[in-house]
Amino acid sequence: MKVQLQHVAHTRSGDKSDTSNIAVFAFEPEFYPLLKQQLTAEKFKAFYAGAIRGDVIRYEVDNIEAMNFVCHGALGGGVSRSLCLDNYGKALSAAVLGFEIDVPDALLPKLHGQALMKKA
Amino acid sequence: MKKIIRIGAGAAWWGDRVEPAQLNAEKGQLDYLCFETMAEATVSAAQVRARRDPSFEGYDTYLDDRMKAVLPACMKQGTKIISNQGWINPDAAAQRIVHWLQHFGYKGVKVASVNGSLITDKVLSMTDKILENGLPTSSLAPNLISAEVYLGAEPIALALKEGAHIVVTGRVADPSIFMAPMMHEFGWDPLDAKRLGQGMGIGHLLECGAQVTGGYFSDPGFKDVPEPWNFGFPIAEVESDGSATLSKVAGTGGAIHLRTVKEQMLYEVHDPANYLTPDVVVDFTTAKIEQVGPDRVRVSHIGGKQRPPTLKVSIGCTEGFIGEDMFFYAGPGALRRAELAKKILTERFRIVGLEAEEIRIDFLGLNAIHGAATPSDAPEPYEIAVRVAARTKTREQAIKVGREVDGMAVSGIGHTGKRVPHADRTREVIGVWSSLVPREKVPATVRYFES
């Protein structure tokens, strides 16, 4: 079943100059391989089309079941130059919570936030 | 050598809350209380203010609030303080702290200031290229207002060795503020990459304060934490090899668990195997994290590699101005009115000849935050703020943004909600660029003061 990423992972963004790093953390170890397989750097960048102007580099951090997406050209030219109200991109990590992930039926009981589940 | 040292966070940035710092001072049984009060742009902002306001002292504008809150408990319990509240004037900050020590009746307390990070006068002769675009740093000369090097933990550890009870610095890498007491207490060699890597990793987990205890974390229904209005700042119980257990004062809100620690571990990190700091290159990909009790997470096996031969310097330059303002729509059809308002403003900016490098007209409530990444099927909101911003070369041009938003009051469209302008709607842009300097060219100097 396809579900929003927010049911399988949590995210946090950080800023440095014009680069935002958006880290994605599997809620459960079983979700990590799904994320690795389905949330590629290409798909990530396409999901943020127009908001991330430069390259996206994906680092896999297996020991904490996380991936770090380093997104160049994501902060409007840099925190101090940006015309965006959220010039640090603190809320940028929330967009990808809406990315659709295909989860095998056997793992559905492990999804987080089931009370707030919307069929994606 | 102590077996365990307790290092607590007192601030994660200039605007951070003061109450949790006081709580850590009073109830954290701390050996060290550490304050991080800068952001990338803080020093540039301080320079701008210093140019405009000769009475500005050049240190953390909340220095008095913070010191008044923590000094009594820290002095009573023998907790040492390390802080980068010195901004562009660590000596003045140290003297102000001496003033507060005397005020509370503590005599003979040694306060150290760490100088040397500010290299505005020398930066162009010390640096070669701008990291972001490869241009020579000399191209920044006409607009240069500040340059500060990120110093490491060594001068702080030196000051502690010399008996300082409080150390106040200018720009120092954030995690170094928290790692310096480990270096000092455990006698780590500055080139011991293994231990420094582990310690610096712990410093990184502490430097953002409540971000590891449940702040910038909770999301109702998905990631709930108890009493998010009552976060405690983190405390690290550090062992002699740098491994540490993260905890917080009992009875505070928030949480410390694997998820809060993981999120902070990658915060503002690029390559997790190579997190560059002045003291060591940290490798988080070997880290082991374990929940060892309620709100207690032990972190070990963070790796370290030899520190780089260069230090990073942040160069602040004037780059023009931003003008901005907003006005409002609500009710059925809010979006169609906002769209017409956008068209009117676009035409008016053409009519008044607004010269801008970039103009942005967003609908706050629909697409102002995620911009182009907003889903095309996002639902129409009931209320919308039209938020307008432009970046310009001169203040005269930036002023046009607010003036044309004023025009929307009676020369706009129906149902326009608008504020009477009560604040300056323009601000100066301080662009921040980076470069590298050989570390031997920027020696730190430590001065001592006594109450």
Which residues from chain B sit within 8 angstroms of residue A21, using beta carbons? 266, 268-270
Residues in chain A: 120
Query: What is the interface size between A and B, counted as CB pairs within 8 Å?
Result: 133
Q: Which two tokens stand for residue B287?
A: 């880290």
pLDDT in tens, A65-106: 999 999 999 999 998 899 999 999 999 999 999 999 999 999
Residue A108 lies in a domain: no
- Cβ atoms of B423 and B116 within 8 Å: the answer is no
- Cβ atoms of B329 and B343 within 8 Å: the answer is no
Q: What average pLDDT does this structure show over B111-117?
A: 97
Residue A109 lies in a domain: no
How many whole angstroms separate alpha carbon A12 and alpha carbon A20?
A: 10
User: Which run of H or of E encompasses A45?
Assistant: helix A41-47
Residues 356-415 on B with a CB inside 8 Å of A are: 358-360, 362, 364, 368-373, 375, 387, 389-391
* SS3 (DSSP) at A90: coil
How many whole angstroms separate alpha carbon B143 and alpha carbon B317?
A: 5
Q: What is the CATH number of the domain that holds A31?
A: 3.30.70
pLDDT in tens, B342-389: 999 999 999 999 999 999 999 999 999 999 999 999 999 999 999 999
Mutate to test the interface with B, among A60, A63, A69 (most CBs of B within 10 A): A63
Give the distance from residue B22's alpha carbon to the nearest chain A alpha carbon, in angstroms.
Answer: 27
Residue A7 lies in a domain: yes
How many whole angstroms separate alpha carbon B89 and alpha carbon B262?
A: 35
Give the distance from residue A57's alpha carbon to the nearest chain B alpha carbon, in angstroms.
Answer: 9
Query: For residue B20, what pLDDT band results from cuts at 50, 70 and 90?
Result: very high
**How many CA atoms lie within 13 Å of B108's alpha carbon, on the beta-carbon side?**
0
- Cβ atoms of A37 and A83 within 8 Å: the answer is no
Average pLDDT of the residues of chain B: 96
* SS3 (DSSP) at A29: helix
Of residues B270, B389, B391, nearest to A21 (C-beta): B270
Please give the pLDDT value at position B1. 62
CB contact under 8 A, B370 and A25: no
Query: For residue A120, what pLDDT band results from cuts at 50, 70 and 90?
Result: very low
Give the distance from residue A31's alpha carbon to the nearest chain B alpha carbon, in angstroms.
Answer: 14
Domain residue ranges in chain B: 4-116+151-308, 316-433
Q: Across chain B, which distance is largest between two alpha carbons, in Å?
A: 74
Residue B281 Cα to chain centre, angstroms: 20
Residue A15 lies in a domain: yes
Q: For residue A7, give the DSSP letter.
A: G
Domain range enclosing A38: 2-83
Could you tell me which CATH number the domain at B316-433 has? 3.30.70
Residue A74 lies in a domain: yes
How many whole angstroms separate alpha carbon B21 and alpha carbon B209?
A: 10
Alpha-carbon Rg for chain B in angstroms = 24
How many whole angstroms separate alpha carbon B276 and alpha carbon A33?
A: 28
Which residues from chain A sit within 8 angstroms of residue B264, using beta carbons? 12
CB contact under 8 A, B364 and A112: no
- Cβ atoms of B178 and B206 within 8 Å: the answer is yes
Which residues from chain B sit within 8 angstroms of residue A27, using beta carbons? 259
CB contact under 8 A, A25 and B44: no
Please give the pLDDT value at position B97. 98
For chain A, what is the domain count? 1
Which residues from chain B sit within 8 angstroms of residue A66, using beta carbons? 262, 266
Of residues A51, A64, A78, nearest to B370 (C-beta): A51
* SS3 (DSSP) at A62: helix
* SS3 (DSSP) at A55: coil
Q: Which two tokens stand for residue B159?
A: 């000051």
A93: phi then psi, degrees, rounded to nearest 5: -70, -10
Of residues B266, B288, B322, nearest to A66 (C-beta): B266
Give the distance from residue B323's alpha carbon to the nearest chain A alpha carbon, in angstroms.
Answer: 9
Residue A41 lies in a domain: yes
Query: For residue B407, what pLDDT band results from cuts at 50, 70 and 90?
Result: very high
CB contact under 8 A, B268 and A15: yes
| B44 in contact with A, Cβ within 8 Å | yes
Of residues B222, B369, B373, nearest to A49 (C-beta): B373
Query: For residue B420, what pLDDT band results from cuts at 50, 70 and 90?
Result: confident
Which residues from chain B sit within 8 angstroms of residue A81, using beta carbons? 319, 391, 429, 431
* SS3 (DSSP) at A95: helix
pLDDT in tens, B37-56: 987 767 677 877 888 898 99
Is residue B421's pLDDT more than 90? no
Residue A97 lies in a domain: no
Q: Which two tokens stand for residue B228?
A: 């998010």
Determine if the pTM surpasses 0.90: yes
Q: Looking at B160-169, B254-263, B422-431, which range is the least confident one?
A: B422-431
- Within 10 A of B347 (CB to CB), how many other CB atoms are there? 11
